[in-house]
Structure 1
Amino acid sequence: MKGEFGVAVERRSAADESAMRRRGIIAAIICISVVGFGLSLSGPLLSLLLESRGISSTMIGVNTAVAGFASLVTAPLVPRLVRRLGTKRLIYVALANGAVTFSLFPVSDFWLWFPLRFLFTSSVTILFIVSEFWIATAAPEGRRGFVMGIYATVLSFGFAVGPGALAVFGSENPILFVLVPATFLAAALPVAFGRAVAPAVDRAQSFRFLALLFVAPSATLAALVFGAFEQTTFSLTALYGLRNGLGEGAAAMLISVVGIGNMLFQIPIGLAADRLNRTLALAVCALAGLIGALLLPFVVGSLWLVLPLVFIWGGLTGGLYTIGLTHLAARFSGADLAAANSLFVMLYSFGMLVGPISAGAAMDVWDPHGFAWVMASLFGLYMLVPFTRFVSSFVRRG
């Protein structure tokens, strides 16, 4: 009886722990996906508002670029903020700051948009880092890739729905300027639901911030490559299609198909990451990116050939983000994982800055296929990192 009772208690404790993990994962995924919806709606909405005020495209671009700068500045500060404020309190502060700063955009002069954009993006950066840290901490080791795949899929859906709301309501409808801050406030509800299981960071990190780049280069650099790929494809794929003879509608369809591929592939990729060597999996995703970029100039003129290519291309390269996060969570814990997630987001933001600039300049020099050559170079150079580390570890084991 005593032994049986002890087993029952142990089983109940394991079941309770599993339930708490699921609760935390659901809370964090819903929170960041709601924020993703608001973020994807806010970007084009703010640009259209500035254009309606007569602000030049150059100044709109300069103001938008503040977002990248804000992310690069904020990311290294997040581990310390998590340690001082705690996970859930920091999320609440970031959500409130995001809601307030966005509400001020429509009633502010243009010069105030620069500090507002900085503060708004800082909040979003904090939310992404802390939410991903929460998900990675709560996910069980053997299912972490699967959980990250679910997170990436739901987040992609949230990003896709945002511009749809803009298309339904129109940029001049004032309800959108209420909807965005409302989404940030609504994202606090799942955090309240999971507040009892929010991870705590009670000690300083073991590694210096930038040293994490050299401890886990395959995972951290994956964020830079995917950030460059994602932002470049969103910014320049339609233009690339137009310059290769596709119509405007067909060229725009390329972007949608890349996004659909990215959304649908992440759960299968996450499942694979739980079963395969993650360093090798990152190399395979990079190889897929390289092959896709090299094939693109040969098929872009035919819609029926290019659509399946970019679908697979977007799906497999999206694995860099999913597997990268999974790899970090397997390598680090506690304060070190919070810092690694911060570096991951910072490098992703840096990739978003350099990718479109490099590919855009290349398209002017090698019109129109400079876009494909830059993407191929990016994936090819990165692939050497995980492949070399996999071979080195294989040789050491041998």
Structure 2
Amino acid sequence: MGQVSTLIVVLAIIFGTAMVQAAVGFNAVLLPVRLEEYGYGKSLIGICLSMEVAAVVLISKYITRIIARLGIFGALALATGIRVGVLFLVASSRNWVLWCVCVFFFGMNTNIMLISLQTWINTIPMTRFKGLAIGSFSSALSLGTASGPVMVHLAGIDGGARPFHVNMAIVAFTLLPFLLLAKFIPKIPAGPKLRLGFVLRMAKIAMFSSLVGGVTFYGLPAFLTLYGMMNGLSVERASYLISLFMLGSITLGLGVCALSDFLNRTVVIVVCVFVGVLCAVYLPLAIYTYPVALGLLFVWGGAAGGIYGTGLAIVGDMFRKEDQVSANVAYSLMDCLGGVIGVNLIGFSMDFEGSDGIVYVIILAALVYFIYCLSKVRVD
């Protein structure tokens, strides 16, 4: 494959990744708002939304086998079809159980697509700019999620199935560049057996940081739109809270990760968690001044992105090449497990404590993390 072809393929993967996540960002606004319109409480909304992340936890062990059997293009095509199908089902139903099942399958197939694309870009031979390509891939994840609320605003969210149909079109369009570039997609052999238990034992603090980071990174965006609406913002303005959080993850988060190359990475994570606590404490005040709230969430997103990226760097340094697949799967698994816990706890907390319940959960998670880190400090 020549340099021009390589560049085209890499750009297509990055674009496709952003589009995959754009549908996720679209749902982050549409699903909780529509469920609340149907009369469901925050607890039930939280359980339903957590199904998307729970699917990632349950499928992680089998995903390499699925991709090896179907091939990258087969996995992308099948996952796209299922994502379109579940959006079609929820568009015409108010049944909470059906929504939970559909959200579960949407999350499962989103993860299959992302791992397929990540595998594809990692197999492309690049003598130069490999780091830039992988970094752009990571940024596309957050950029796609950040663009979702903007697309919701353009599509309209008031009643009817139209916004669901728009999101179905986004999902279907994602497959187009891969159809055109199918001949460049490599075949993937079955991978080695995962050693999740081993890497979890060997990197306890890094894995726990991923768990705590997942509480914020998944839990906060899931309820930010409803949080803003509960504090007097319109749906449009409330949805942009998610966009600024994700943009902070892209920009400030990358800066934090770069800075961690020159500092103690564990200390960097602790500082990021502390910054997240400060943002959580001041959010109930900042929400009444919209520009301040946007700025605070931008910083908060940077701290959350810094936790994930820096923890991933720790894992990369700790394990040999043979265990990197297991280490990365375990790290993502803990991140998603934190997301399941966070989304559910925030939903229950907001039902019983009002909008500030989201703050209490974030602070509690940080407190548990600080206690755990202190318990690991050796006193001579």
The structural deviation recorded for 1:179 is 0.7
Match of 2:83 in 1: 98
C-alpha distance in structure 2 between counterparts of 1:98 and 1:83, whole Å: 20
Within the alignment, does 1:265 sit opposite 2:265 as a pair?
no
Judge conservation of contact 1:68–1:350 (CA < 8 Å) in 2: yes
Judge conservation of contact 1:224–1:348 (CA < 8 Å) in 2: yes
Match of 1:234 in 2: 221
The structural deviation recorded for 1:332 is 4.9
Match of 1:283 in 2: 270
Match of 2:185 in 1: 195
The structural deviation recorded for 1:320 is 1.9
Match of 2:336 in 1: 349
Within the alignment, does 1:186 sit opposite 2:176 as a pair?
yes
Within the alignment, does 1:34 sit opposite 2:19 as a pair?
yes
**What SS class does the counterpart of residue 192 from structure 2 fall into?**
coil
Judge conservation of contact 1:237–1:251 (CA < 8 Å) in 2: yes
TM-score, normalised to structure 1, is: 0.71
Cα gap change, 1:306 to 1:185, in 2 (>3 Å): closer
The structural deviation recorded for 1:158 is 1.4
C-alpha distance in structure 2 between counterparts of 1:107 and 1:370, whole Å: 31
Within the alignment, does 1:157 sit opposite 2:143 as a pair?
yes
The more displaced of 272-281 and 151-160 is 272-281
C-alpha distance in structure 1 between counterparts of 2:209 and 2:2, whole Å: 32
Cα gap change, 1:286 to 1:21, in 2 (>3 Å): farther
**What SS class does the counterpart of residue 57 from structure 1 fall into?**
coil
Which amino acid is the alignment partner of residue 264 of structure 1?
A: T
**What SS class does the counterpart of residue 76 from structure 1 fall into?**
coil
Cα gap change, 1:293 to 1:107, in 2 (>3 Å): closer
**What SS class does the counterpart of residue 318 from structure 1 fall into?**
helix
Aligned partner (choices 40, 46, 52) of residue 57 of structure 1: 40
The structural deviation recorded for 1:308 is 3.6
Q: Deviation per CA, 1:78-129, whole angstroms, max 9, x where unpaired?
A: 1333454455543444334434544555578957655544333221122233
C-alpha distance in structure 1 between counterparts of 2:374 and 2:128, whole Å: 23
The structural deviation recorded for 1:346 is 3.0
C-alpha distance in structure 2 between counterparts of 1:189 and 1:319, whole Å: 35
C-alpha distance in structure 2 between counterparts of 1:144 and 1:379, whole Å: 34
- Seq. identity, %: 25
CA RMSD of aligned residues (A): 4.6
Which amino acid is the alignment partner of residue 215 of structure 1?
A: M
**What SS class does the counterpart of residue 62 from structure 2 fall into?**
helix
The structural deviation recorded for 1:384 is 6.2
Q: Deviation per CA, 1:238-258, whole angstroms, max 9, x where unpaired?
A: 666677xx6425766654433
Aligned partner (choices 36, 40, 54) of residue 69 of structure 1: 54
The structural deviation recorded for 1:336 is 3.9
Which amino acid is the alignment partner of residue 372 of structure 1?
A: V
Aligned partner (choices 295, 298, 315) of residue 311 of structure 1: 298
C-alpha distance in structure 1 between counterparts of 2:65 and 2:178, whole Å: 22
Within the alignment, does 1:358 sit opposite 2:341 as a pair?
no
Cα gap change, 1:252 to 1:97, in 2 (>3 Å): closer
Identify unmatched segments of 5+ residues in structure 1.
1-15
Q: How does 1:117-266 map to 2 (within 5 A)?
A: 117-134=103-120, 149-171=135-157, 172-173=161-162, 176=166, 178-186=168-176, 188-189=178-179, 192=182, 194-196=184-186, 200=188, 202-205=190-193, 208-237=195-224, 247-249=232-234, 254-266=241-253
The more displaced of 363-372 and 92-101 is 363-372
Within the alignment, does 1:340 sit opposite 2:323 as a pair?
no
C-alpha distance in structure 2 between counterparts of 1:323 and 1:369, whole Å: 29
The structural deviation recorded for 1:292 is 3.2
C-alpha distance in structure 1 between counterparts of 2:138 and 2:238, whole Å: 25
C-alpha distance in structure 2 between counterparts of 1:285 and 1:140, whole Å: 33
Match of 1:9 in 2: none
TM-score, normalised to structure 2, is: 0.73
Which amino acid is the alignment partner of residue 105 of structure 2?
A: L
Cα gap change, 1:277 to 1:190, in 2 (>3 Å): farther
Aligned partner (choices 71, 81, 85) of residue 66 of structure 2: 81
Q: Which of these two proteins has the greater Rg computed from alpha carbons? A: 1
Within the alignment, does 1:379 sit opposite 2:372 as a pair?
no
The more displaced of 335-344 and 28-37 is 335-344
C-alpha distance in structure 1 between counterparts of 2:84 and 2:320, whole Å: 31
The structural deviation recorded for 1:319 is 1.5
**What SS class does the counterpart of residue 248 from structure 1 fall into?**
coil
Judge conservation of contact 2:64–2:190 (CA < 8 Å) in 1: no
Judge conservation of contact 1:222–1:320 (CA < 8 Å) in 2: yes
Which amino acid is the alignment partner of residue 204 of structure 1?
A: P
In the alignment of these two chains, the number of paired residues is 371
